Amino acid sequence: MTYSVAGLKTGDKIGKATVVIDIIKKGNPEIRPCTAMKPLYVTIHNTGNRGKGANAKAHNNLIHNLAGKSVRDTSHVSWHAAVDEDYIYIHIPFNETAWHCGDGAKGNGNSKSIGLEICMHSDQKHYEQAEENAIALTVHLICFYKLSANEVRPHQDWSGKYCPELIMRRDGNFAKYRARTEVAYQIAISGDKNTVVKGDENIMQFSSSTTKSAVRDELVQFVGKGLINQSWLVKFDKGEMTNGDYDGLKLIVNQRLIVAK
């Protein structure tokens, strides 16, 4: 029988990641409390593990190893899923509590939220894609459990820990990451993956997939020729590029082409 968690099964694709469901065994309540939960939030973490090879599979191995130990040899530490650029490993059913927020057994973080750990190891090749996969998984979860992007929280909200540290350090706070999740959610519920939905009316809009693809292909060519930075293509793919950004980039490209001649 195929095991399913929140409508997901091993082999499914979320974002660009392959789902692997590998639920840890029962027995150690400090790792898997086995307490029923109706999820009201999704909590985002960075693993904090910069060690080489500390990807989603490695964290799956880690939590299985911890689950096999006795209570005297562990502390309260667990999470529902680990995410990297290639895989999403689900270790604890999303309708059970886990120890990932540091706010105790009655805190809303531990008792009412799903914990997603985004990998950040030193030899990671595509951290940005790991974030995108986490956002895609979050959108699936908020749709499945009928939540909203407002219920997507950083670890910091529950216990004050500076986590997810890479996201917080880069963006200054969690607002931009939540906004990216909201965009992805709106696209998902609109049923049109080619539509960019965002509150800023200056964000680029596309009337068809052909138009969007043409603009992206142009940007890919600019990046390939070294005329603009890769970060602009990332911004486009996140749905954050404005009409002003695009017009400005074309001016810069034209100037650089003239100089090159």
**pLDDT (tens digit per residue) in 199-220:** 344 678 777 788 888 899 999 9
**Mean pLDDT score across all residues of the chain:** 89
- Give φ, ψ of 91 to 5 degrees: -105, -30
Chain segment 85-105, per-residue pLDDT in tens:
999 999 999 999 999 999 999
Q: What average pLDDT does this structure show over 9-31?
A: 95
Chain segment 109-139, per-residue pLDDT in tens:
999 999 999 999 999 999 999 999 999 999 9
What per-residue string of b and e applies to 163-202 under the rule 16 or more CB within 10 Å gives b?
bbbbbbeeeeebeebbbbbbbbbbbbeeeeeebbbbeeee
pLDDT at position 1: 45
- CATH entry 3.50.50.60 includes domain 4-190: no
pTM for the whole structure: 0.73
Q: What average pLDDT does this structure show over 180-201?
A: 61
As a whole-number percent, the residues of the chain with pLDDT over 90 amount to: 67
Instruction: Please report, for the chain, the start and end positions of each structural domain, with discontinuous segments joined by +.
Output: 4-190, 209-260
- 67 pLDDT more than 60: yes
pLDDT at position 186: 76
